[in-house]
Amino acid sequence: MHIAVLMGDDSPEREISLASGQAVAAALQARGHQVDALEIPQVRDVLSLGGLQEVDIVFPALHGGLGEDGHLQALLEILQVPYALSGPLACALAMNKTAAKRVMQGAGIPTPDWLQVAWDVATGQPCARTSNAVTAAEAQAEALSLDHLLDRAENELGFPLVIKPNAAGSSVGVEIVRDRDRFGAAFQQVAAQTRDILLERFIPGREITATILLGRRLPLLEIRPRQGFYDYANKYTPGASEYLVPAPVHSPVYEQISDDALRVFDLLECRGVIRVDFRLEDSRYYCLEANTIPGMTATSLVPMAAAAVGIEFGAMLEDLCREALARDRAGDPAQL
């Protein structure tokens, strides 16, 4: 196959995208495929890339931002270029954490309680609901202060709680707040990065992740950071975390988590491979989010789960490309 691996973009996860893209390109080349490793400064630059129409399949290795939230996938469909992994709808739903949580909640999949806040950095207040307000003054009167937000978070979620961007990955910008005194500074730190903010009840316990590969449940994997929580540094620093696969989780909870990961795959209409993240508290588990373009670096979780059942990294990537190419040749409708 002639495969173009796309990487780069200008999201906060650019460096991880480059690492994933280079690893994917090298593994596919080692399998004997013709591979073009294409670094793009921004997602819109895909429109001016020459030669995409000549490749058999595109493998997206962009993490976060417009590369993973459906924009890139929509552009590739407009260009009529076949690509691996999920389509625009699945990517958009998965990247928007609150949208995915609403789908989970509606399907009875446990997910931590949350509040979504659209924050206006300029005014230091939640964005006013101008569409429902008669005047700007009335809209301003509707806005909650940070103190009111703190009271609501404490009453509805309790402490500790998590503050994070609603549409980002790799634990970028995540703050764990353990008491009222820390809330304001942590919230403003996240608000400086994005106006779309998710407040979520903190679930103590174990970090469990599930991989769904071509509709198949791979072994659950447990992550044990050597210190702190599974943040950006612990994810991408070799040796910073311990990984157990299969995860030492007793039945029937193991099977229930695996089943719900597959349900998320189906509910969001995903394709190819996804990683679904959970927290396990005693025998109760909660689904946090789904990742439609999971990391493909040396410390990434999906390759570990695949290796545990004898699926070599390059073979997995090859299967993903072949599945996407077969789907395109069969005329599968676009996920718009």
Q: State which amino acid sits at residue 98.
A: T
Residues 210-226, mean pLDDT to the nearest whole number: 96
Residues 281-289, mean pLDDT to the nearest whole number: 96
pLDDT at 126: 60
Angle at 320 between CA 263 and CA 81, to 5 degrees: 105
Residues with catalytic roles? 13, 170, 236, 275, 277, 289, 291, 295
Cα 183 to Cα 176: distance, rounded to the nearest angstrom:
9
pLDDT at 225: 85
In this predicted structure, the answer to whether residue 71 has a pLDDT above a threshold of 70 is yes
Q: How does pLDDT run across 157-171, given as a tens digit for each residue?
A: 999 999 999 987 656
Domains located in the chain, CATH noted: 2-85+317-329 (3.40.50.20), 94-110+204-311 (3.30.470.20), 114-201 (3.30.1490.20)
119 versus 62: the higher-pLDDT residue is 62
Q: How does pLDDT run across 81-97, given as a tens digit for each residue?
A: 999 999 999 999 999 99
Residues 136-144, mean pLDDT to the nearest whole number: 46
In this predicted structure, the answer to whether residue 130 has a pLDDT above a threshold of 80 is no
pLDDT at 99: 96
Residues 130-147, mean pLDDT to the nearest whole number: 50
pLDDT at 44: 95
Give the rounded percent of residues in the chain with a pLDDT score beyond 70.
86
Confidence of residue 226 (pLDDT cuts 50, 70, 90): confident
Please name the residue ranges forming H helices in the chain: 14-30, 65-68, 71-78, 88-95, 97-106, 136-142, 146-156, 180-191, 232-236, 253-267, 301-308, 313-329
In this predicted structure, the answer to whether residue 141 has a pLDDT above a threshold of 50 is no
Confidence of residue 121 (pLDDT cuts 50, 70, 90): low
In this predicted structure, the answer to whether residue 220 has a pLDDT above a threshold of 70 is yes
Backbone angles phi, psi at 113, to 5 degrees: -60, 150
pLDDT at 334: 45
